[in-house]
Structure 1
Amino acid sequence: MLERTTSEPQEDGVRHTIDDNSLTPVPEHERKSGWYLSWLPAGVATSLLQLTLAGTITALVGSILGLLAGVLAAVFVLTIGWLFGNIARVEGLSGTVLPRFYGLGLRGSAISSLAFAIMIIGFCASENVLLYNGTLFALGWQDTTGARVLIYGVLTVLWVALSMFGIKVVTRTSSALVIVFLLLLAYMVFRIYDTSDVTLNEAFTRAATVATGSGASRFFEVVGILGGQGAALILVNADYTRYARSRSSVGGVNLVGVIMLDIVGIALGILVLTGGSTLAGDYLVAHGQATPATAAADAAVLATTNTGAYFVIVSGMVGFALMYVAQAKVQVLNVYSGSLALSNLWHVLTGRHPNRFVMILLANAVCLLLIAAGVFNHLSGFISVLGMIMMGIIATAIADYYLVSTREPRDPGAVEPVNWAGVVTVAVSSVVAYVLSETGAFPFGFLSATVLCLILYPIVRTSVLKPRAVAHA
């Protein structure tokens, strides 16, 4: 059973710290300021994966349109994220527990937990792949079974150790390492534009390098990628804003997240990957990994598959080592949110309160399975499709809280087994959004899923599929 927050301190042992209110509302005495919590989305958004996606985005549409797509996505995600994050603050619950009360019901919330767990752990797997590829490049190793066991094994142990002690340790890790990562990127930018003949103007006006498909279709693809990312960011931010003290803190956390993810992240990708492409090509030629004729193309491939190599090329082994340290922050945050999603999934399916440490181990095990399945090679489609589903879930919760429930808190001890109005709305909206996107009738699947759920859910909930009997949560 979920209990409402109280202002009285509770026992604060190791077990409570590890559990980190995974299924229970955050008590008032554990609430944090917006400044404190804003380091967390900043940590998520400054990563190798974001630089890699920035490289993909600029290859598809060029620097200017890439930044424009980022700004458009940021405005939308900020609005939806503030609305959803405020529900998390009021209820004190994580983004995957909230749908129990708003939108999906107890059993129905398994859908949100499963979708979010797959996406956030998929991000974790992709970051591990980038670290692995960068390590091979830096050390000159071959891709062998032994190398995979060693590198992925060490990474897994690190993420388990750093993410097991709750939001306090996670925040301290993130805040310190965000600064390290940004300082390292600043040094790389200085090195790139000090030692090469590329100018900032050339980097920010670079045209697309992908010629397949129309310019419009590629731009729509980029917006779809950013929208899918945005859905994950909204749910991740809700895991943090459940600790927020005020609505302004919620707004601050979401604002920092979208700025760092959709604007700063893309800009840094342009500065480092686009600006550094000449240095990367020269390095590959000098080390016999490319010819002068293929250097530019090979550098472009490197920017979308092995971003860590740029740290070696520009900053040497010291830069690569610092990048490894800084990258730890985003992996800790990914594992943290993944374990919360799995905690709700476990509780919903078994009725038993999970041990969050076990969920951390499970999250890392799933991460290794996704690496073996090659999730990194299908990342764009993976993000877009899951983004439609998650945006639908988020929009349904918003419609339930603000439009249907008139913002009245739900009974913490009772909840519908399945909110069929929400489940049907999410299913229908996701399918329609996917079909519209795939046929080109309306390419922004995450947006159509959001709008459809906001319109359909209040109608279905108040007419055809009204609330039913409740069950203990």
Structure 2
Amino acid sequence: MSQKLENMMEDYSLEAVPAEMRRPWKDLAAVGVGIGSSLAVLLTGGLVTFMAGFWMGMLAAFIAFLVSTFFTISLGVISFRDGFSSNIISRAYAFGTRGSAIGSLIWAFMIIGFLGMESVLIGNSIFFYFDIEPTFTIKLIFYLILTAIWIVLSLFGNKLVSRVAEIMIPLLFLMLLFMVFLLMKQGSLVEAVTHGILVPNMTTSQGFAIALNATVVLAGLLAIVVADFTRFSKSTKDVVKVSVASNFSLFGVTMFFGAVITYFGYQLTNDYFLKQGMDPAAAGMAAITNPGITLVLAGGFWGLLTIIFSQSKVQVGNSYEGALALVNLFDTAFNWRPGRAVMVVLANIISLIFIFGNILHYIEAFLTIGSVLLCVWVTIVLTDYYVVRGTLKFGQKGIVNLDDIPAVNWIGLLTLVVSTFTGMAFYQQNWFQVPFIISTVCAFVLYLGLNYLKSQFTSSKKNNLNNISG
């Protein structure tokens, strides 16, 4: 019995997925679709269309869809071929064994931050609906119960994550359709899908830059999440199916619903925040960035149910991903391998610390730079695998033995730091408002260039030794 339980919990966090554990693409796609259909994405859909107008916001989402689908398929094919998680792939094709601890630390911080933030979104919605005063004791009891639920569900691995998503996704989209129906009395559907910029003094170029930045930075995040599940795929065609379904859910369906629900519910939510004593500017921004409050105000119990359907599947995925990142972090940094089950518990304990330590405020500020970091991370892996080892034949593809991977790939780490810093510097100086573009182009050129110089130096050194020995 104990052996059976251990097998159920094992997700090959440090091993390649064997052939007999490969699974149908629909099971895997459910996870990607589930991660993409969250309150955070609904919020993004509303934000970008208010800032850029509906069609320009949707254009930004479409561009992000193309970029993200390319990332997701390309990284997913690597995870399928090698059978390892994205953290292990980053060892072989980006940072080296010890160096990958830095990538895992970044990923763990972000995904566990999301785990904490999404729990807070659920908590705030429930407290708001039941008119509960969120004292410290009330919050402690509530978040402990919520954390226990995430731990139990994510302990049993990707199969249960898939099952939760498969149940919740249809229910969620039915509830979102019902929410749109309830909110349509607030305005016209034609107006909702044709309106222009709704933020005062915002130009078209400024709004589109904000929209593109807000959508495209999700590309690296989704690619890394989906790669952890496409390693269970049966074929490259299945990888493509999972990737397209996941990206379409995020950038197409969920952002569209976010745009429409935010448009219809804006006045209702804005009036609520004005009654709470906010000034008009603050109330307007709060109305755009609080889809959970909008859903509860518009749908009452049904709105609350929508939030629960949305966030439960996301949280199980976040808990699962956080544990995988911690497994690689502690293995590479401290040579400690207690198993994924321990890391599931640890990830959720850290999320509680984030919630009650008010660290979530700083995590929100970190999301922009963190998302750019993840896009650079994916770019380095793809450049190494497909160009450096593929086209140029500098090194071998395929992970045979983890012990054979070099301790540190300094070129990868240097590229990560320089490219991210360059993109963010351009962004902070208002020279270019989409740091993702600067950072990923810089990462490709720098990583490729440094590896070419390294190969030339190695070749020259080898020739000199041959000449001396000759």
Could you list the per-position Cα deviations for residues 176-234 of structure 1 after superposition, in whole angstroms to 9, with x for gaps in the alignment?
A: 101111111111112222xx151111112333343366543343233222222221101
CA contact (8 A) 1:192 1:279 kept: no
Q: Which moved more, 1:134-143 or 1:274-283?
A: 274-283
Alignment-mate amino acid for residue 407 of structure 2: P
Once the two structures are superposed, the pairs formed by residues 250-399 of structure 1 within 5 Å of their partners are 250-280=239-269, 289=276, 298=283, 301-305=286-290, 307-321=291-305, 323-372=307-356, 374=358, 377=361, 381-399=365-383
Q: Which moved more, 1:94-103 or 1:314-323?
A: 314-323
Tell me: CA distance 1:74–1:376, structure 2 relative to 1, closer, same or farther (3 Å).
farther
Q: Which whole-Å CA distance do the structure 1 matches of 2:174 and 2:354 have between them?
A: 31
Could you list the per-position Cα deviations for residues 225-268 of structure 1 after superposition, in whole angstroms to 9, with x for gaps in the alignment?
A: 22222211010010011111111111111111221112222110
Q: Which whole-Å CA distance do the structure 1 matches of 2:361 and 2:193 have between them?
A: 27
Q: Equivalent residue of 1:189, what SS?
A: helix
Asked whether 1:207 is paired with 2:196, we answer: yes
Q: Which whole-Å CA distance do the structure 2 matches of 1:425 and 1:297 have between them?
A: 39
Once the two structures are superposed, the pairs formed by residues 186-197 of structure 1 within 5 Å of their partners are 186-193=177-184, 196-197=185-186
Q: Equivalent residue of 1:22, what SS?
A: coil
Unaligned runs of 5+ in 1: 1-10, 468-473
Quote the residue 2:100 is aligned against. Answer: 109
CA drift at 1:428: 1.4
CA drift at 1:463: 2.4
Quote the residue 2:467 is aligned against. Answer: none
Asked whether 1:54 is paired with 2:39, we answer: no
Q: Which whole-Å CA distance do the structure 1 matches of 2:137 and 2:204 have between them?
A: 43
CA drift at 1:281: 5.3
Asked whether 1:143 is paired with 2:142, we answer: no
Quote the residue 1:92 is aligned against. Answer: 83
Alignment-mate amino acid for residue 222 of structure 2: L
Quote the residue 2:400 is aligned against. Answer: 411
CA contact (8 A) 1:88 1:94 kept: yes
Tell me: CA distance 1:104–1:76, structure 2 relative to 1, closer, same or farther (3 Å).
same
CA contact (8 A) 1:228 1:383 kept: no
Quote the residue 2:462 is aligned against. Answer: none
Quote the residue 1:450 is aligned against. Answer: 440
CA drift at 1:62: 2.8
CA drift at 1:325: 4.1
CA drift at 1:331: 0.4
Q: Which whole-Å CA distance do the structure 2 matches of 1:262 and 1:354 have between them?
A: 37
Tell me: CA distance 1:299–1:184, structure 2 relative to 1, closer, same or farther (3 Å).
farther
CA contact (8 A) 2:270 2:287 kept: no
Tell me: CA distance 1:154–1:58, structure 2 relative to 1, closer, same or farther (3 Å).
farther
CA contact (8 A) 2:411 2:451 kept: yes
Asked whether 1:184 is paired with 2:175, we answer: yes
Q: Which moved more, 1:79-88 or 1:142-151?
A: 142-151
Alignment-mate amino acid for residue 169 of structure 2: V
Asked whether 1:36 is paired with 2:20, we answer: no
CA drift at 1:401: 0.9
Q: Which moved more, 1:201-210 or 1:268-277?
A: 201-210
Alignment-mate amino acid for residue 427 of structure 2: S
Q: Which whole-Å CA distance do the structure 2 matches of 1:349 and 1:329 have between them?
A: 30
Quote the residue 2:420 is aligned against. Answer: 430
Could you list the per-position Cα deviations for residues 259-309 of structure 1 after superposition, in whole angstroms to 9, with x for gaps in the alignment?
A: 111222211012212112344457778xx6579x96x9746524413x222
Number of residue equivalences: 450
Q: Equivalent residue of 2:97, what SS?
A: coil
Q: Which whole-Å CA distance do the structure 2 matches of 1:165 and 1:158 have between them?
A: 12
Quote the residue 1:471 is aligned against. Answer: none
Quote the residue 1:232 is aligned against. Answer: 221
Q: Which whole-Å CA distance do the structure 1 matches of 2:200 and 2:369 have between them?
A: 24
Tell me: CA distance 1:202–1:121, structure 2 relative to 1, closer, same or farther (3 Å).
same
Q: Equivalent residue of 2:379, what SS?
A: helix
Once the two structures are superposed, the pairs formed by residues 17-36 of structure 1 within 5 Å of their partners are 17-36=8-27
Once the two structures are superposed, the pairs formed by residues 151-170 of structure 1 within 5 Å of their partners are 151-170=142-161
CA contact (8 A) 1:34 1:248 kept: no
Alignment-mate amino acid for residue 338 of structure 1: G
The one of 427, 444, 454 equivalent to 1:464 is: 454
Q: What TM-score does the superposition give when structure 1 sets the normalisation length?
A: 0.88
Quote the residue 1:126 is aligned against. Answer: 117
Q: Which whole-Å CA distance do the structure 1 matches of 2:201 and 2:143 have between them?
A: 35
Q: Which moved more, 1:346-355 or 1:403-412?
A: 403-412
Q: What TM-score does the superposition give when structure 2 sets the normalisation length?
A: 0.89
Asked whether 1:242 is paired with 2:231, we answer: yes
Quote the residue 1:5 is aligned against. Answer: none
Alignment-mate amino acid for residue 388 of structure 2: V
CA drift at 1:160: 0.8
Q: Which whole-Å CA distance do the structure 1 matches of 2:50 and 2:238 have between them?
A: 36
Alignment-mate amino acid for residue 80 of structure 2: R
CA drift at 1:373: 5.0
Alignment-mate amino acid for residue 206 of structure 2: S
Tell me: CA distance 1:318–1:79, structure 2 relative to 1, closer, same or farther (3 Å).
closer
Q: Which whole-Å CA distance do the structure 2 matches of 1:203 and 1:184 have between them?
A: 19
Q: Which whole-Å CA distance do the structure 1 matches of 2:9 and 2:399 have between them?
A: 27
Unaligned runs of 5+ in 2: 391-395, 459-470
